[in-house]
A = this chain, B = another copy of it.
Amino acid sequence: MPVNLPKINPALLKPIQGIRLGWTKAFIKKPNRKDLLVIEISDHSSVSGVFTQNRFCAAPVTLCKQHLLAKKNGDVNHIKALVINTGNANAGTGEQGMVDALTTCQHLAKIMNIPVNSILPFSTGVILEHLPMSKLLSGLPNAVTNLSDNNWADAASTIMTTDIAPKAYCTELLIENEKVTITGISKGAGMIHPNMATMLGYVATDAHISQTLLDEITKEIADLSFNCISVDGDTSTNDSFIIIATGKSKVPAINHRTDAGFNAIFDALLETSQYLAKAIIRDGEGATKFITVTVAGAKTIEEAKTIGFSIGKSPLVKTAMFASDPNLGRVLAAIGYASRECKSLEDLDTTQLELYFGDILVAENGGRAKNYQEEQGQAIMNEAEINIKVQLHRGDTEATIWTCDFSYDYVKINAEYRT
């Protein structure tokens, strides 16, 4: 079961003016489940995305990048629809994969009467299998017919793969006394590691944010949310994160960081994205613990994040957490080998750093802290939410990452998936 992930309440997922969502059951991998989603975006919206860095990136990711680039070079309000299927990732599918992704866009373009390159395609699921195109294409008209501004909860269910629970978030804020709404959904449970995860995230707001500004902050927000999570250290071929700003609210346009409401909308978009990213960890494959690792006193963000992930990815730390074992030794060892991936840590002075479990100082001066009692650590480890903090005392930069433990069920899920 997901760790402290509240059930989504469809009534709390407010519509975003300018966005309609339509789903259908296309029988792509399994019979009788929602597996195909179309999101319609009104004219004059800004749309930005960040994508996996995996060299084996999936065909739809390649096409998304091309279509976003076409948009940048021409009409800034170009993207008019997203199409998302689950059950098949269309990754590692060679030239046929590109043909299939493009054919999907072409058919949807015809149905919706919009340009082919105004559509962004996304796929998630099994790698290396070709998309079942006739099923997918025959599902498209149903999804379009189903379009409604009230379908966010169903949309969250439609894009799931090994997820146990759908993930969605909604927040409202006032800017200059006018209401702005942000609603978002995400999916992902395994093959999760930044840059990015087998994750899809879609966040929409009715605020007006200029395309240039949205491009900037989408990357910043991804780096502070979806790029701060790891289930297993595996970076997927399909990760995509999209922010859409429809501009339908009555709030004045936000074109620059100095414009009224910028900080408020940035914070609310970040809050939404962090909630959705953390929801993926709470629903991580086999997860029984939600672990927050904060690394402070680093010289650079890279140092802080590398140490955070070195702890968060270590199978030895993660199995100890599963066992509620306050095993500081494994955490210290993981800090110690972080220099493998971040050269500037080669001069890390381990006698200077402090390690905390919750608020308890557990290690200092290169060893166990003098007053630390194992019962204190045990009490913290018994909780479902565990906070680990490292203070390096070598700079003033801090980063936080989120991860989960490594359980029998992780092995079970991944040994049995596909069979």
Contacts and interface: CB of A to CB of B under 8 A. Distances in A.
Interface residues of A, number: 70
A336 B367 contact: no
Interface in A392-416: 406-408, 410-412, 414-416
A350 B57 CA distance: 9
A292 interface: no
A401 to B, nearest CB: 15
Interface string A311-344: 0011110011011010111101111111111000
Contacts of A346: 55
A340 B53 contact: yes
A332 B92 contact: yes
A57 B237 CA distance: 36
B55 A128 contact: no
A418 interface: yes
Given A367-B96, A416-B323, A333 B191 contact: yes
Nearest to A232: B315
Interface in A348-371: 348, 350-351, 363, 365-368
Contacts of A327: 418
Given A319-B414, A327-B418, 8 more contacts: A94-B366, A94-B368, A95-B365, A96-B367, A127-B330, A127-B332, A191-B330, A234-B330
Interface of A: 53-57, 89, 91-97, 126-128, 190-191, 193, 195, 232-237, 313-316, 319-320, 322-323, 325, 327-330, 332-341, 345-346, 348, 350-351, 363, 365-368, 406-408, 410-412, 414-416, 418-419
